[in-house]
Amino acid sequence: MNEIVLGPNQYGKAEVRVVRVHRETEVHQIRDLNVTSFLRGDFAETFLTGDNSKVLATDTQKNTVYAFAKKYGISSPEEFLLTLGRHFLSYPEVHGGRWLAESYPWERITVEGRPHEHSFVRSTQEIRTAAVTSQDGAEYVLGGFKDLTVLKSTGSEFTGFPRDEYTTLPETTDRIMATDISARWLYQDDAAQAGSVDFDAVFAQVKQIVLEQFAAVHSLSLQQTLYAAGSAVLEAVPQIEDIRFAMPNNHHYVVDLTPFGLENPNEVFEAGVLPYGLMNASVTRAGAQPKPAAWQWIPGFV
Ligand SMILES: O=c1[nH]c(=O)c2[nH]c(=O)[nH]c2[nH]1
């Protein structure tokens, strides 16, 4: 029998909900985050023997999130996580970690044509995401978003695929294409570390490019659309080195209306639920050094 050993591990506090109101002027700004903190390092003893002498309590990690929101404010999710992660790394037993955030978008309510100073409405469905990972002395910053739901009612086909004895799918040169786009992108190390990235601006730019590509590319497959979106992002944003997507194919089936004596030239669809196709790919710069540590254990991304 082989000896039993402790494998890779991390621990921390998941889903700390923090809302920061910046009220320096009458026009308040808000940031609404869901933060997760994981520490990695010299923590084997608590798993092996229950000796907690090196364990920074998950409750302390939670409190640090709230205290840092007060002390440093939240300028962008990425910067907030960088500040948090660098703080925890100052403890000798912490050798690395991962800090994650979801950021919920709020827009000002318009009153008599003017944006209100301190009243907001939750806007857009997609959720912005950020992740900072520290491992072996390196720091990796991922921007991203999840669940950006899009649909095009034509401009999509799927033909030319092989047919075997189990293939029933008809070829189509005109179909609905719909997906919930999730994307994560890795910043070049020097850009993220030098503080030279405007993370909010890059987020808005990437989202806009992805939406434009989805709309403008005449799609031969969802895979082709995915690659077109990723390569357009890399062409436009030099600070990004690798972008990864998860795109479900939210199928729409043309309903057979012939029993009712009706034609259906792509007008009435049944929105499918389960199962769905699922595309995962990374689009990267040739020759870039692979950085698995940036991605490992981020659910949904390969
Ligand atoms: O864009 C698509 N890619 C596929 O790989 C696939 N497979 C399938 O059944 N429909 C589709 N659509």
234-284: pLDDT as tens digits: 999 999 999 999 999 999 999 999 999 999 999 999 999 999 999 999 999
- Whether residue 230 is predicted with pLDDT greater than 70 in this model: the reply is yes
Catalytic annotation present for 22: no
- Whether residue 298 is predicted with pLDDT greater than 80 in this model: the reply is yes
Q: Per the domain annotation, does 3 fall within a domain?
A: no
Indicate the number of domains in the chain.
1
> Region 229-236: what's the mean pLDDT?
98
pLDDT at residue 196 in the model: 84
pLDDT at residue 300 in the model: 84
> Side chain identity at 16, as an amino acid letter?
V
Q: Per the domain annotation, does 6 fall within a domain?
A: no
Atom of ligand 1 nearest to the CA of 222: 1
62, 152, 207, 251: which is the annotated catalytic residue? 251
Q: Per the domain annotation, does 176 fall within a domain?
A: yes
Q: Per the domain annotation, does 2 fall within a domain?
A: no
pLDDT at residue 194 in the model: 67
Closest CA to ligand 1's atom 8: 277
pLDDT band at 146 (very low <50, low <70, confident <90, very high): very high
Atom of ligand 1 nearest to the CA of 156: 1
Q: Per the domain annotation, does 300 fall within a domain?
A: no
Residue 38 sits in a domain whose CATH number is: 3.10.270.10
Q: Is the ipTM of this complex over 0.90?
A: yes
Distance CA 179, CA 204 (A): 19
Domain that holds residue 35: 11-295
Count of CA atoms in the C-beta half-sphere (13 A) of 293: 17
- Whether residue 186 is predicted with pLDDT greater than 80 in this model: the reply is yes
Distance 277 CA to ligand 1 centre (A): 7
Catalytic annotation present for 154: no
Q: Per the domain annotation, does 5 fall within a domain?
A: no
Distance 235 CA to ligand 1 centre (A): 26
15-45 pLDDT per residue, tens: 999 999 999 999 999 999 999 999 999 999 9
58, 95, 116, 146: which is the annotated catalytic residue? 58
Helix (H, G, I), strand (E, B) or coil at 187: strand
Q: Per the domain annotation, does 60 fall within a domain?
A: yes
Catalytic annotation present for 251: yes
Question: What rounded mean pLDDT belongs to the chain?
Answer: 96
Q: Does ligand 1 have an atom closer than 6 angstroms to the CB of 169?
A: yes
Q: Per the domain annotation, does 302 fall within a domain?
A: no
Give the pTM: 0.94
pLDDT at residue 297 in the model: 81
Helix (H, G, I), strand (E, B) or coil at 275: coil
pLDDT at residue 23 in the model: 97
pLDDT band at 199 (very low <50, low <70, confident <90, very high): very high
> pLDDT above 90 covers what percent of the chain?
93
Q: Does ligand 1 have an atom closer than 6 angstroms to the CB of 76?
A: no
Distance CA 276, CA 282 (A): 20
